[in-house]
Amino acid sequence: MNEVAPPRISRRRAVLVTVAGLTVAGAVVGALWAWLAPPLHGVVALTKSGDRIKAYLGDEADHFFVAAVMIAGMLGVLAVVAAVLLWQWRAHRGPAMVAALAIGTAGAAAVAAGVGAALVRLRYGAIDIAGAPVSPQHRVHYVIEAPAVFFGHSPLQIAATVLLPAAAAALVYALVAVSTHRDDLGAWPPTEMPVIDPSVTVDGALPSAQ
C-alpha cells in the first residue's frame, strides 16, 4: 500500500523551488570553481623584430583543459546529488520533477559558468599585450591569465557544458525510476495495484490439479 503523505505544497511550486534552488547551487559551484581553478602563468615578450608575443611557461597551457574539466566535473556532481535528493521528495515524483531537474541543472550550469568567469576576471584581470611594460632593455613581462570556463568558444562546446549536467541528472533520475516496482513511483496521489487471487480462474472455477 502507498503510505506517502499528501504534499504540503503544490506541484507547480515544487517545480519552481527546484529550479530556483538548483540555480542558486550553480552560483555556489561557480564561486567555488573560481577559487580552485588553476590560473595560467605566462609571459609577454618583445622579439628582436619589435613584435610582442604571449607565451605560456612550461605546461601551463594545459590549465585551460584542466579548468574546463573541473567545472564540468563539479556540475556533474551537482546533477547526481540533485537527482538523488529530488527522488526523496516522494510526493512529487514524476515527469514534472524530471523536467524541473533538467531545466534547473542546465540553468545551474549556465549560472556557474557566468559567475565563475566573472570572478576569475575580477581576480586575475585581462592581459593587455599592447600595454605590457616591455622594452629593448626589459624584453619579458610575466603575466597571470584567468582560467577558462568552457573547452572552447564555439556554440556547440558551450552548449555541451551547459546541457551535460541536465542529461546526467535526468539519466540518474530515470534509472532510479525504472527500478521502482510501482507504476505511480510511490508518488501522490497513490494508485493502488489490483490484487488478483491466484486461486480463481477466468470462469470462476477452482484450478485443476493438472
Q: Which amino acid is at 188?
A: W
In the sheet where 140-145 sits, what is the strand order?
52-56, 40-46, 140-145
Task: Report DSSP state, residue 181.
Answer: S
How much is the average pLDDT of 15-19?
A: 91
The pLDDT of residue 184 is: 46
CA distance 189 to 6: 7
The pLDDT of residue 210 is: 47
Confidence of residue 114 (pLDDT cuts 50, 70, 90): very high
Q: Which amino acid is at 108?
A: A
Confidence of residue 6 (pLDDT cuts 50, 70, 90): low
Confidence of residue 188 (pLDDT cuts 50, 70, 90): very low
Burial class (CB in 10 A: 0-12, 13-18, 19+), 154: exposed
Is residue 168 scored above 70 in pLDDT?
Answer: yes
Is residue 203 scored above 90 in pLDDT?
Answer: no
Task: Report pLDDT digits (tens) over 54-109.
Answer: 888 888 888 889 999 999 999 999 999 999 988 887 666 778 888 899 999 999 99
Reading the block at residue 36, the C-alpha cell is 580552485
Question: 206 — phi, psi (to 5°)?
Answer: -70, 145
Is residue 189 scored above 80 in pLDDT?
Answer: no
Is residue 10 scored above 50 in pLDDT?
Answer: yes
Question: Which one has a higher pLDDT value, 127 or 72?
Answer: 72
Question: Which one has a higher pLDDT value, 180 or 146?
Answer: 146
The model's pTM: 0.78
The pLDDT of residue 109 is: 95
